[in-house]
Structure 1
Amino acid sequence: MKIGVIYGGNSNEKEISIKSLENVEKSLKNLGYNYEKFESNDIQLHEKIINKDLILNIVHGEFGEDGKLQGYLDIFDKKYTSSPSETCNICFDKYLFYNIFFEKLNIPKMIKTDKYINPPFDFPLILKPRRGGSSKGIYIIHDQSNYKKYLKINIDTFGDTLIQKYVKGREFTLSIIEKSGEFIILPLLEIIPKNEFYDYNAKYTEGKAKLTINHEVHKNYKKQIENIFFTLREVLCFRDMLRIDFIISEEKIYVLEVNTVPGLTKLSDLPISANAHGINFDKLINIFINNHIK
Structure 2
Amino acid sequence: MTAKRLIYLYSDSTFTPWKENIFGRTIASFLQSTPENYYPYVTHFVGFTEEFANFLRQFDIVFNVCYGFGEYGQHEISQWLESKEIQHTASLYESQKMAKDKVELPALCKRIGAYTPAIIPLGELANHEAQRFIAKPRFGSLHQNMHVFEKENIPYELLMEQEDLVIQPYLTGREFTVGIIPDEEAQEYICLTPLEIKPDDDREVYIAGQKYGTTEKVLNPELDKQLCEEMKQTVLKLHKVLNLRGMSRTDIRLSDGKIYILDINTMPNLDANSFLPYIAKNEGISLQELFRRLLLRFENVYFKTDNLVLAGVEN
TM bucket by the smaller chain?
A: 0.7 to 0.9
Q: Say yes or no: does 1:12 pair with 2:21.
A: no
Whether the 8 Å CA contact 1:128–1:137 is kept in 2: the answer is yes
Q: Aligned letter for 1:262?
A: P
The residue number in structure 1 matching 2:5 is 2
Decide whether aligned partners of structure 1 residues 197 and 132 sit closer, same or farther in structure 2, where only a CA change above 3 A counts: same
Decide whether aligned partners of structure 1 residues 85 and 95 sit closer, same or farther in structure 2, where only a CA change above 3 A counts: same
Whether the 8 Å CA contact 2:33–2:287 is kept in 1: the answer is no
Q: Say yes or no: does 1:211 pair with 2:211.
A: no
Whether the 8 Å CA contact 1:24–1:264 is kept in 2: the answer is no
The residue number in structure 2 matching 1:36 is 42
- For structure 2, the 5+ residue unaligned runs are 301-315
Q: Distance in 2 between matches of 1:131 and 1:170?
A: 23
Structural RMSD (CA): 2.8
The residue number in structure 2 matching 1:86 is 94
1:173-225: CA deviations, max 9, x gaps?
0011124131121111001134842244379xxx9321111354262313412
Q: Distance in 2 between matches of 1:94 and 1:237?
A: 17
The residue number in structure 1 matching 2:136 is 128
The residue number in structure 2 matching 1:255 is 261
Q: Say yes or no: does 1:238 pair with 2:244.
A: yes
Q: Aligned letter for 1:76?
A: K
TM-score normalised according to structure 1 size = 0.83
1:84-126: CA deviations, max 9, x gaps?
22211111111122233246311111136xxx63525333101
Q: Distance in 2 between matches of 1:177 and 1:275?
A: 12
Decide whether aligned partners of structure 1 residues 215 and 151 sit closer, same or farther in structure 2, where only a CA change above 3 A counts: same
Q: What is the Cα deviation at residue 75 of structure 1?
A: 2.6
The residue number in structure 1 matching 2:26 is 23
Q: Distance in 1 between matches of 2:239 and 2:190?
A: 14
Structure with higher Rg: it is 2
User: Tell me, what secondary structure is at the counterpart of 1:78?
Assistant: coil
TM-score normalised according to structure 2 size = 0.78
Identity of aligned residues (%): 25
Decide whether aligned partners of structure 1 residues 142 and 59 sit closer, same or farther in structure 2, where only a CA change above 3 A counts: farther
Q: Say yes or no: does 1:140 pair with 2:148.
A: yes
Q: Distance in 2 between matches of 1:85 and 1:218?
A: 36
Q: Say yes or no: does 1:55 pair with 2:62.
A: yes
Decide whether aligned partners of structure 1 residues 12 and 27 sit closer, same or farther in structure 2, where only a CA change above 3 A counts: closer
The residue number in structure 2 matching 1:95 is 103
Decide whether aligned partners of structure 1 residues 226 and 212 sit closer, same or farther in structure 2, where only a CA change above 3 A counts: closer
The residue number in structure 1 matching 2:182 is 178
1:114-142: CA deviations, max 9, x gaps?
xx635253331010111111111111112
Whether the 8 Å CA contact 2:17–2:73 is kept in 1: the answer is no
- For structure 1, the 5+ residue unaligned runs are none
Q: Aligned letter for 2:30?
A: S
Whether the 8 Å CA contact 1:169–1:249 is kept in 2: the answer is yes
The residue number in structure 2 matching 1:108 is 117
User: Tell me, what secondary structure is at the counterpart of 2:254?
Assistant: strand
Q: What is the Cα deviation at residue 171 of structure 1?
A: 0.7
Q: Aligned letter for 1:189?
A: L
